[in-house]
Amino acid sequence: MLRFVTTADTEILATAAAVRRLPEGFPEVRCANPQGTRDLDPFLDHVLDGARVVVTRVLGGRRGWQGGVDRLAERCRVAGIALIALGGESRPDAEMTALSTVPSGAVAQVGEYLQSGDVDNVEQMLRFLADTFLLEGFGFEAPKSVEQLGIYVPGRGDVTLEEALAGRDPAAPVVGIAFYRSHRLTGNTDFVDGLCAAIRRAGGHPLAVWSYTLRRAHDDGRVAALELLAGHVDALVTTMLATGGANRGDAAGDVAVDDGGAEEQMAWDAGALEALGVPVIQALCVTMSRERWDEGGEGLLPVDAATQVAIPEFDGRIIGGPISFKERELEDSPVGVAVPRYVADDERCDRLAGLVLRHARLRDPEARRKIAIVLTAFPTKHARIGMAVGLDTPASAIGLLHRLKADGIDVRDIPADGDALMHALIAAGGHDPEFLTDEILGAAPLRIPVADYLDWYATLEPELTDAIVKRWGPAPGDRYLDRSESASPEGDLVVAGLELGDVVVLIQPPRGYGDDQVGIYHDPELAPAHHYMAAYRWLDQHWGADAIVHLGKHGTLEWLPGKMVALSASCAPDAALGSMPLVYPFVVNDPGEGAQAKRRAHAVVVDHLVPPMMRAESYDELADLEALMDEYARLEVL
């Protein structure tokens, strides 16, 4: 006869665990989550059937379940059902309290139980409700406070910082993991356990911290959970919401009204996260089943895309891939509804762990780092090598090579200028079919043995290889293939590029072939060709790139077929890029297309300004010619 309507699945999980502890003869307890409800009255009919006490807790308060809270309150008043209405935040919600049909003191006490959120407090809440409103005599205890944050080690539970770091290999990067306190208190930690195990497999040392929020800062802007990690981690993975928010700041932002009615400038402030000074990767906890995710093309539900991708991007986080899926267990559920759990996916955890560890190792100034610089060519013509919107790519590439060398990267034989770089890339193959000859293929310096590609190709998901074969034939394809005597026994796939010590500069391979190069470039369904996949897998598994720089808007990797976000191993961008970090200089006035790279290729987008404007006049020899023609025209009149 007790009903709990909540938008937080972790509260359903905690309630299910609490009900299993209750004594025989305890009143029936049922839970429900209103999210996704289309027909309100049938839902409320089910909730209120046999109910005598209803507790509802809605993230976002009255507006979080638009119309639903009001209708629930109305029906409870008419039926004489005790209603305790609560908001989902830590602060009391006056609107929700006003909708309740019981004394405000009882509302506050139930709020305290749920604010703590662990199974013990939920059990005592149920006992309190039964004794107070149903006049039972089971007995209950007052709400007990629970720590706001802690450090968790799988198999050991909560430990101190010293215990969590004990026995660490000094060479292993430490990876912080931030997850919500509610998951720890309800035992919903399989996704954390899976990620910790993957980080260890990748050669790192996990340091998992649970916390109520990443937003609750001290007066000086510090955040307790981040303060605990500061100085100890080389990278941070978080499954929590954005750190920034409605904070007073100096930057331009929203205008808020203070208690006195005066306007005050507000700003998005993620300074506490930035102060860590480490890469921050957002891991995605998909709130649908793995089966549904696997079958769909969207990758995330709209609410997840907003809370786990779009909003965290304001913090400057790198958008990683999925690590878990929400599975529901209805069998033997003690609360009349399927009990949700986050179930880790080992393969996706390994992919994310690889990305995180490679970002962490890039921070080591003593380590050898190998960098690949990839230039676009749209369409596949020599005249279009390095095409990028608003960027002098050849000159930028030369500047980047010199900067990498100054920063300690082993860079050799840097071309004299951008023109020299372009001519060298053309001489190294160029990919332009109009000029490509057997002699050029045979002399190209960057070569991928077909045998190596076939080994890599065999590791790809059948869904992807079937699409590649359907469009481009069996591996290794028939383009950019050198079978001359100088090639390896089964032939070589040739990539146009230059190896300059620990930096390689190459032209992004064409994603396909045909007369309509513009259509091929943007086709969302066209699988990449064998040569394309071979180039990226060669960079990763043979040449050993520690990071890739896609120089300028925009290449084709982020537009390959697959899910919109939260990619699988069958998605072409994920299969091509693997766990290689991607840095992407991108023109600042096109955030929409830049978001594709961030969300589908875990890119770190580095904005550059649009070029300065000037009059579109003639220049150099053309200006001289134009002056002579004007002079001739004047003389002709005479």
Using 50, 70 and 90 to split pLDDT, how confident is the model at 219?
A: low
User: How many domains, in total, are found in the chain?
Assistant: 3
* Percent above pLDDT 70 for the chain: 95
- Of 519, 516, 493, which is closest to residue 506 (Cα–Cα)? 493
* DSSP codes of every residue in 421-472: HHHHHHHTT---TTT--HHHHHH-SEEEEHHHHHHHHTTS-HHHHHHHHHHH
Residue carrying structure tokens 């690949």: 372
Please state, in angstroms and rounded to a whole number, the distance separating the CA atoms of residues 169 and 361.
Answer: 14
Q: Are 329 and 338 in contact (CB under 8 A)?
A: yes
Of 77, 98, 133, which residue constitutes the final position of a domain?
Answer: 133
The answer to whether residue 77 sits within a structural domain is yes
Residue 625: is its pLDDT beyond 90? yes
- The pLDDT tens digits for 229-246 are 999 999 999 999 877 654
**Statement to judge: residues 264 and 403 lie in one domain:** no
Amino acid identity, position 201:
R
**Statement to judge: residues 436 and 548 lie in one domain:** yes
- Measure CA 552 to chain center: 21
- The pLDDT tens digits for 449-458 are 999 999 999 9
Phi, psi of 159 (to 5 degrees): -140, 170
**Statement to judge: residues 353 and 375 lie in one domain:** no
Using 50, 70 and 90 to split pLDDT, how confident is the model at 399?
A: very high
Q: Decide: helix, strand or coil at residue 77.
A: helix
Residue 249: is its pLDDT beyond 50? no
**Statement to judge: residues 250 and 321 lie in one domain:** yes
Phi, psi of 499 (to 5 degrees): -100, 115
The answer to whether residue 446 sits within a structural domain is yes
pLDDT of residue 530: 97
Using 50, 70 and 90 to split pLDDT, how confident is the model at 205?
A: very high
97 by Cβ neighbours in 10 Å (0-12 / 13-18 / 19+) ranks as middle
**Statement to judge: residues 127 and 190 lie in one domain:** no
- The pLDDT tens digits for 357-397 are 999 999 988 889 999 999 998 878 888 888 899 999 999 99
The answer to whether residue 632 sits within a structural domain is no
pLDDT of residue 254: 38
The answer to whether residue 383 sits within a structural domain is yes
**Statement to judge: residues 446 and 467 lie in one domain:** yes
The answer to whether residue 162 sits within a structural domain is yes
Q: Are 31 and 12 in contact (CB under 8 A)?
A: yes
Out of 12-16, 59-63, 73-77, least confident range: 59-63
The answer to whether residue 589 sits within a structural domain is yes
**Statement to judge: residues 374 and 356 lie in one domain:** no
Residue carrying structure tokens 């908001």: 87
- Average pLDDT estimate for 294-301: 96
- The pLDDT tens digits for 300-331 are 999 999 999 999 999 999 999 999 999 998 77
**Statement to judge: residues 355 and 375 lie in one domain:** no
pLDDT of residue 381: 84
**Statement to judge: residues 438 and 353 lie in one domain:** no
Residue 148: is its pLDDT beyond 50? yes
pLDDT of residue 351: 98
- Average pLDDT estimate for 504-527: 86
pLDDT of residue 267: 58
pLDDT of residue 458: 97
**Statement to judge: residues 347 and 397 lie in one domain:** no
pLDDT of residue 246: 44
Of 315, 345, 361, which residue constitutes the final position of a domain?
Answer: 361
pLDDT of residue 216: 65
Q: Taking each helix axis as running N to C, give the angle between helix 450-457 and helix 530-538, from 0 to 180 degrees, rounded to the nearest 10.
A: 90
pLDDT of residue 265: 42
- Average pLDDT estimate for 481-491: 92
Q: Are 334 and 16 in contact (CB under 8 A)?
A: yes
Using 50, 70 and 90 to split pLDDT, how confident is the model at 261?
A: very low
Q: Taking each helix axis as running N to C, give the angle between helix 418-427 and helix 393-406, from 0 to 180 degrees, rounded to the nearest 10.
A: 100
Out of 215-219, 270-274, 421-425, least confident range: 215-219
> How does the average pLDDT of the chain come out, rounded?
92
Q: Summarize the chain as % helix, strand, coil (round to 5).
A: 40, 20, 40
The answer to whether residue 626 sits within a structural domain is no
**Statement to judge: residues 354 and 397 lie in one domain:** no
**Statement to judge: residues 380 and 463 lie in one domain:** yes
- Measure CA 139 to chain center: 46
- The pLDDT tens digits for 81-130 are 999 999 988 889 999 999 999 999 999 999 999 998 899 999 999 999 99
Residue 262: is its pLDDT beyond 50? no
Of 345, 361, 377, which residue constitutes the final position of a domain?
Answer: 361
Could you say which DSSP state residue 529 is in?
P
Give the residue numbers spanning the domain of 499: 368-608
Residue 589: is its pLDDT beyond 90? yes
- Average pLDDT estimate for 134-161: 96
Out of 207-216, 285-294, 411-420, least confident range: 207-216
pLDDT of residue 80: 97
Residue 267: CATH number of its domain: 3.40.50
Residue 48: is its pLDDT beyond 80? yes
Out of 74-83, 95-104, 215-224, 576-585, least confident range: 215-224
The answer to whether residue 296 sits within a structural domain is yes
- Average pLDDT estimate for 397-416: 97
Q: Are 380 and 521 in contact (CB under 8 A)?
A: no
